[in-house]
Amino acid sequence: MQTIGLVGGLSWESSAVYYQELNQGVERRVGGLSSARTVMSSVDFAEVTALQEQERWDDVAEILGRAARGVEAAGADFLLLCTTTFHKVADQVEAAVGIPLLHLGDVVADEVRSQGVDRVGFIGTTVAMSDGFFADRLARHGLEVVMPDPRHHELLNSAIYDELVHGRVVDATRRRVLSVLDELWDSHVGGVLLGCTELELLITQADCELPVYPCTTLHVRAALDLALAQ
């Protein structure tokens, strides 16, 4: 089993999901008392979020790159960024280390395209929805991405930063987010990407008739495929 490097703290709720799903995945695949070989460096979410709000992306990249180098030094064979929003600096982080980075966008696009879907909706943070970095990565794989109307961005951003990163799952918020998904469905998408780990705490496939792609779950699955490859 290869050692999976994790840059976490983006938020700690997201990191906990990654850690839990990686270990549950190894237990299912290997059995017995097996668990995932992981190394995590967890950064201060408040610090990097403040820098992101000031659009100081080079400073964000330096912090995450330093965390990635620590993970590499601790023996990681490859790297995951436990976040969607901060994949904006993924190329800079990958350049800071000598191990490969398993890019979330590549993993998600491969899964969606394998199911014959070429047009998807996306919900996430305001940065991930309004900045083209993630949609552009998906477009490299021939995937068209439809974002929610800008009037919904504050709702989604608030659900993430004011509730979900603090572990608060609110039914009224779920209903409002599902109404956004209904609008995306009206845009003739073949599914919707849950483009923030914390959104997977709020929305599941059982809540929605439109196919839902939980990006973190797909990221974890691909990491396990790589870590356990013979």
DSSP output for the chain:
-PPEEEEE-SSHHHHHHHHHHHHHHHHHHH-TT----EEEEE--HHHHHHHHHTT-HHHHHHHHHHHHHHHHHTT-SEEEES-SGGGGGHHHHHHTSSS-B--HHHHHHHHHHHTT--EEEEE--HHHHHSTHHHHHHHTTT-EEEPPPGGGHHHHHHIIIIIGGGT---HHHHHHHHHHHHHHHHTT-S-EEE-SGGGGGT--GGG-SS-EEEHHHHHHHHHHHHHT--
Concerning whether 84 is annotated as a catalytic residue, the answer is no
Catalytic residue among 38, 84, 173, 196: 196
Concerning whether 83 is annotated as a catalytic residue, the answer is yes
Catalytic residue among 38, 49, 82, 83: 83
Residues with catalytic roles: 83, 196
